[in-house]
Chain A
Amino acid sequence: MNLLATSINHKTASIELREALYLSSDEIKEYLKHAQGKYFSESLIISTCNRTEIYGIPVSQNISHQEIQSSLLQLKSVSGLTTDNFQNYFSGNAIRHLFSVACGIDSLMVGDNQIFKQVKDSFQLAEENHYAGFLMKRIFDSAVRAGKRAITETAISEGAVTVSYAAVQLIEKIFSNLSRKSALVIGAGETGEIAAKHLKERGIGSLTITNRTYERAEKLAENLNAKILPFNNFKETLHEFDIILSATSSDNLILTKEDIRASMKKRNYNSCVLMDIAIPRDIDPEAKNIDYVFYNDIDSLNIIVQQNLAKRKEEIPKVEKIIDEELAGFLSWFNSLEAAPAIKDLRDFFEAVRAEEFEKNKNRFSAEDQEKVEIITKRIINKILHHPTVELKKFGENGTNNDEAAIKISIIRELFGMDKKNEKEN
């Protein structure tokens, strides 16, 4: 099959180049419009912070990967980008690559299931604007099915693989119900914001933000429906929090062991989790020696992240097996669109209907007439199928890669329910 794919991703280019080539929805539409008819009969683009990939059914055999790359760079000029930064795929390899992307095993963070949604969104964008048609739909349906199966049938997306999410996973190993717990996030920078969002998503009972710059804390608190605590005196109420998550850019310790000890005394040594995800650290690591204080910094959280990544990598062979199955299923369907098997299936289908009806009704006729009825019904079927058979043979003569022929054959198969019949028999 004539599927062409070209990809720039985390394996081939630096983050600067990938970011520079990132295409917005409008830019994608602009490129697809430009490529439609000129390079592709059907096409779409997946563009995220980690990859930009073009998939398309070329209008002729002469369309090359280099031509597509040049046309893309004409739309979005990126200095320093060469053909070496692109991976090129064709036919079955292009489909396999797409399936790998949809299943998350080609991602920078193995098992990242955000890409699954991005693949679906990319197809939707192309389909809504009529750049993706019959073949692309079938390819992407298979890709989405492979992605879904990878998520549900394997553990490829399980476990936290970011420090802030690992912090939440660890907190849930200490407390059973976060809706009854209160958390304080110190620092309203990017890291603090992500961690606060994770806590909110996991249903934290009460969330409070404190930050040196009050306005920043106010903005984050407003977004997350959280409370604000002035940075100058937040230590006075430290004992009220079950979870303290610190992510400031301070060069010095913000909380000493004595601060924590005093807080623990006030809270009658009820368990308290300290998550220090700042570099350099905000909380004195000696605090971990206090009873019922669970202290973790980036290094310890990274242990969880690395363990989960290793577990996800162990799942890759299972995902590859799913990809093989889905690819085989797709190629089997695609090969059935060739003329010869289509003619055979069509004739078999009609003959099966004829034979079934003959068997049901033959006792209505005498033994002598039964033979005549069989000959007549066979003749009728042959006459009905004569013209479709001739037309299908013409498709075959024009080559098996004729996409127009494939579409027509697919319509015939769908009209007579031939694929469903084959699925039942299998």
Chain B
Amino acid sequence: MKAVIDFSNYLLPILYLVTFGFYSYDFMKGGKRFTNSKRLFLFLTLSFHLFYLLLRSIHFDHPPITNVFEIFTLLAFAVSFSYFILELLTDIRGTGPFIIIFSIIFQIISTFFITDVYQVKEVLRSHLLGIHVFNALLGYSAITISAVYGFLYLILYKDIKLNKFGLIFNRLPSLEILEKMSFYSATIGFFLLSIAIIIGIIWLPKAFPDFSYVDPKLIGTAIVWILYGVGIFTKIFGKWKGKKVIMLSIVGFIIAICSTIITNFLARSFHSFY
């Protein structure tokens, strides 16, 4: 089984790259050549990724949430899976390459640095931790997607203002749709992060004796959560709209990424597990 896991680990970035190739070709060239097959290939890639995650969980006897590189492969899966669901629900197919590229980045990082952990701390086997991580991951996927749609909104907004009617203008959905997708994703992300934070606040002090409220990870997450909260609140009450809310979403995403890097690679935190 270990050999299959290792093989799958190296095959996954290739599958994501091929899927990305299909989506990019379709975006650049248009036409109907890969309109349906690209979605099928994404489905196959996600199915294979799920198979890989299950194999890891069975073989190592714990869900793949014990170190940052296991989290990265989960994040790669969650981002593409969320996009897949979004594509099925909305039938908006032109934005795939911009989102799948994040799965490629997350998966490549995971593939090259993931380690095999057979023995994990007892604290990492908790069900509450599982729910906490599950919500946090889906939340981060949602804010990644929100930032991508926000970024695409800004590019299209600028192109229309400057009368640049190129590939972006021809292939992307309308500004209104991009704004809505970004806002809905941010709202879902905010909701899921809220659940992750609530569980964290209840469970972390009990699980970790060295728990601290000034932990960089907690501060980073709190800033991200507040930013999204402010954005959603001002949007709902009609104070802010369009570019302002979208800029907030992009800044929130950048802070979330920086917070992850600082917490896991630079700072010493109770939130680092390896």
Contacts and interface: CB of A to CB of B under 8 A. Distances in A.
Nearest to A306: B165
A113 to B, nearest CB: 19
A173 B241 contact: no
A176 B173 CA distance: 8
Contacts of B165: 303-304, 307
Interface stretch (B37-45, B141-149, B174-182): B174-182
Contacts of A296: 163
Interface string B26-41: 0000110000000000
Interface string B225-239: 000000000000010
B175 A271 contact: yes
Interface in A156-185: 170, 172-177
B169 interface: yes
B176 A170 contact: no
Nearest to B240: A269
A9 to B, nearest CB: 31
B54 interface: no
Interface in B132-183: 156, 160-161, 163, 165, 169, 173-177, 180
Nearest to A299: B163
Interface string A169-204: 010111111000000000000000000000000000
Contacts of A303: 163, 165
A292 B173 contact: no
A174 B176 CA distance: 6
Contacts of B163: 296, 300, 303
Nearest to A268: B238
B97 interface: no
A231 interface: no
A304 B163 CA distance: 9
A175 B176 contact: yes
A176 B174 contact: yes
A111 to B, nearest CB: 16
A307 B175 CA distance: 21
B241 A174 contact: no
B268 interface: no
Contacts of A271: 175-176, 242
Contacts of A270: 241
Nearest to B156: A173
Given A296-B163, A303-B163, A175 B174 contact: yes
Contacts of A268: 238, 241
Given A173-B175, A174-B176, A291 B160 contact: no
B160 A170 contact: yes
Nearest to A301: B163
A288 interface: yes
A303 B243 CA distance: 26
A174 B175 contact: yes
Q: How large is the interface on B (under 10, 10 to 19, 20 to 34, 35 or more residues)?
A: 10 to 19
Interface in A67-117: none
A173 B177 CA distance: 9
B176 A176 contact: yes
B247 to A, nearest CB: 13
A292 B244 CA distance: 12
A294 B241 contact: no
Interface string A263-307: 000001111000000000000000010011010100010011001
A109 B156 CA distance: 29
A173 B242 contact: no
Contacts of B242: 269, 271, 292
Contacts of B156: 173
A291 B174 contact: no
Contact of B241 (A170, A175, A176, A269): A269
A270 B173 CA distance: 19
A249 to B, nearest CB: 24
A106 B161 CA distance: 35
A175 B31 CA distance: 23
A176 B177 contact: yes
A33 to B, nearest CB: 47
A173 B169 contact: yes
A170 B30 CA distance: 19
A173 B175 CA distance: 6
A27 to B, nearest CB: 43
Interface in B113-143: none
Contact of A173 (B31, B174, B243): B174
A304 B159 CA distance: 13
A296 B31 CA distance: 28
Interface of B: 30-31, 156, 160-161, 163, 165, 169, 173-177, 180, 238, 241-243
* Closest 8 A/B residue pairs (Cβ): A300-B163, A176-B176, A176-B174, A176-B177, A174-B175, A175-B176, A304-B165, A173-B174
Interface of A: 155, 170, 172-177, 268-271, 288, 291-292, 294, 296, 300, 303-304, 307
Given A175-B175, A270-B241, 6 more contacts: A155-B30, A173-B156, A176-B173, A176-B176, A271-B242, A304-B165
19 contacts: A155-B30, A155-B31, A170-B160, A172-B174, A173-B160, A173-B175, A174-B160, A174-B175, A174-B176, A175-B174, A175-B175, A175-B176, A176-B173, A176-B180, A177-B176, A271-B175, A271-B176, A288-B161, A291-B243
